[in-house]
Amino acid sequence: MCTQQRPGAQPLPAVDDVASEELRRLVAAVAGGSEEAFARLYDAVAGPVHGTAIRTLRNPALAEEVAQEVLLEVWRGAGGYRAERGTVMAWVITIAHRRAVDRVRSVQAASDRERRLASLEPTVCESVAEQVERGLDVERVRAALAGLSGAQRESLVLAYYGGYSQREIAQILRVPLGTVKTRVRDGLVRLRASFAAGPAVGPG
C-alpha cells in the first residue's frame, strides 16, 4: 500500500544522497583528526580503492601497496576535500587512479631503463610538441568533467578511472542500475558535445 506524504513535508532524500552526505561528514571529521571517523571512512572506500588499483595495475601486491598509499593520502589530505568539486567517492577514486597510473609509469620506466642498459640502444625522446598536445588533452578532459553534474561525474569516474561495470557502480553508490545507466549516458553525451565544441579560444 502506498503512503502519501503529508502536505508541506520535505521530500525524503535519495539513498545515494544520504550515503554521500554521510561520507562528507566522515571526511570532515577525519580532517579534524578523528580516528574513529577514518576507520568508518576506510571501511566505506577501501573496496572501491583496491578495485581501482587492481584494475589498473593487474598486480595484487602492487595494488595493495597503492591502496594503502591512497588511504594514507585520504587521511592526511581530508582537509583539502571540497564538496563543490564532486562527491567523496569520486574524489577518492580519482586519487586511487592517479596513484595507480603513477605506479604503472614508475614500473614501466624502471623496466625501460633496464632494457636500455641491456641493449645499449639510444631511445627516442618525446618531442616538445607531443608533450604539449598531451597536456592540452588532459586539461580538456578535466574541463569537460568539471562541466558535468556531480552524479554524472561520479559515475564516469568510477567507470573509466575505476574500471567498474555499471552494475558494480550501482552497488557501490547504492542506486538503481537504470539510474547509473542514465547518468553515464547523459554524462558521455555532454562530454562528446564539449569535445566537439573544441578548446575555448581566449582573446588574441
Q: Hey, what amino acid is at 11?
A: P
The residue behind cell 572501491 is 48
Residue 199 has pLDDT above 60, yes or no: no
Could you give the domains of the chain? Answer: 15-109+137-196 (1.10.1740.10)
What's the whole-number mean pLDDT along residues 23-36?
A: 94
Residue 71 has pLDDT above 80, yes or no: yes
Contact predicate 39/56, CB 8 Å: no
Q: Terminal CA-to-CA distance of the chain, rounded, Å?
A: 65
- What are the grid coordinates assigned to 52, written together? 581501482
Average pLDDT over all residues of the chain: 77
Handedness of CA 37, 25, 56, 72 (dihedral sign): negative
Residue 201 has pLDDT above 70, yes or no: no
- The pTM of the full predicted model, rounded to 2 decimals, is 0.58
What's the whole-number mean pLDDT along residues 149-173?
A: 84
Distance CA 169, CA 89 (A): 11
Q: Percentage of the chain surpassing pLDDT 70?
A: 71
Residue of 130 and 24 predicted with greater confidence: 24
What's the whole-number mean pLDDT along residues 103-115?
A: 71
Residue 202 has pLDDT above 70, yes or no: no
* pLDDT band at 14; cut points 50, 70, 90: very low
What's the whole-number mean pLDDT along residues 156-184?
A: 85
The residue behind cell 597503492 is 66
Contact predicate 87/23, CB 8 Å: yes
